[in-house]
Amino acid sequence: MNNGSRGRASDATDERRRLLVAAGLALLFAPRRVAAQPAPYRIGFLGNSTPTLEANLIGPFRQGLRDLGYVEGSNLTIEWRWAEGIYDRFPKLVAELAAQKVALIVTAGTPASLAVEKAAPTMPLVMVAVGDPVGTGLVKSLSLPGGNATGLTSIAPDLEGKRLELLKEIVPELERVSILWNPSNPFHIGSERQARAAARELRIDVHLAAVRTAADFNAAFAEVRAQHPGALIVLADRVFLHNRDRIVAFAEQNRLPAVYAYRELVDAGGLMSFGPNYAEMHRRAAYYVDRILKGAKPGELPIELPSKFELVINVKRAKALGLALPESVLLRADEIVR
């Protein structure tokens, strides 16, 4: 090979090296592509009262979500809506959540769940502590709900009967009891039947005082006073939970032993509560949220029954009422408030 050929070969080699170096530098300094991040999930929560009054419930719900890897403000946005104890607000609040394009709505109780089913029938629904989802037409069955709703039910055989039995144990001479109920809550139809059946067995007369909204309390309280009952039962309804202080004050002023569906009324100074662990049910609701966000169909997720019922007793209130609590009742208590 002559010198000219060797020179051309050398020049070609040098050119290839320059091109390779340039390509390498271009790759090194080129803007790096970031893997596309999925948009945060957006869900709705339809609350019955206020964030303050339900702090002990939404706290466990949030914790359940965190345990499953969901972080508000990062990969999850929760649209909160609160009815402040006024059920007539539900349709408007459901419409607001639907307009926010939420992936699903979480509710607690029968009226809120029915409102979602009516106002947004195609919206996936996670129900917490719904009374009787089959009897009220929310689902076809507990094992295979069908449709767009699933979650957890607070239903239990003879729950009102057990509350009445507890009252009879601590007030053996009990002959008449008043019951605060909400005729607008479809679940209360079955609760009322349970209470009447148990009352017949125990030979106790029952008086029902209706409360649909906060405006009805004065009339209901007047009815109860006129009946001169020996005790009071307050059914599970978020209107009652929202107005807990008012109800407990009435029972105290009229020296009425009372059993409540929610432990929050005992925390507010009431005598006794018996019912499911609602905080745990809210924590467990996060499981259903996770399954649906990951593609599961609500209608194929079985509805869970309560795993635990709690008896909470306020011995300070019992003492103020002059009640000697039987040892058999105290031994069954899951918690004693002093």
Separation CA 127–CA 123 (nearest Å): 12
Q: Say yes or no to pLDDT of 295 above 70.
A: yes
Q: Among 177-181, 239-243, 301-305, which is the least confidently predicted range?
A: 239-243
Percent of residues, the chain, with pLDDT higher than 90: 74
pLDDT at 27: 46
Give the percent of the chain with pLDDT over 70: 88
Angle at 278 between CA 330 and CA 138, to 5 degrees: 130
- pLDDT, one tens digit per residue, over 200-236 is 999 999 999 999 999 999 999 999 999 999 999 999 8
| Range 177-200 burial, b when 16+ CB lie within 10 A, else e | bbbbbbebbbbbebbbebbbebbe
Q: Which of 53-62, 153-162, 205-214 has the lowest mean pLDDT?
A: 153-162
Please report the pLDDT score of residue 185 as a whole number. 84
pLDDT the model gives residue 46: 97
Please report the pLDDT score of residue 308 as a whole number.
81
Q: Identify the pLDDT of residue 33.
A: 43
Task: Tell me the pLDDT band of 4, cut-offs 50, 70 and 90.
Answer: low
Mean pLDDT, range 108-123, rounded to an integer: 94
- Domain 41-155+278-300: which topology? Rossmann fold (3.40.50)
Confidence of residue 186 (pLDDT cuts 50, 70, 90): confident
Domain borders along the chain are: 41-155+278-300, 159-276+309-337
In the DSSP assignment, the letter for residue 304 is B
pLDDT score at 204: 96
Averaged pLDDT for residues 67-75: 96
pLDDT at 85 over 90: no
Would you place residue 193 in the very low, low, confident or very high pLDDT band (cuts 50, 70, 90)? confident
**Mean of pLDDT values over 68-93:** 95
CA 133 to chain centre: 14
pTM above 0.85, yes or no: no
Fold classification of 159-276+309-337 (topology level) = Rossmann fold (3.40.50)
pLDDT band at 184 (very low <50, low <70, confident <90, very high): confident
Domains 41-155+278-300 and 159-276+309-337 share a fold: yes
Query: Cα–Cα distance between 244 and 238 in angstroms, integer?
Result: 9
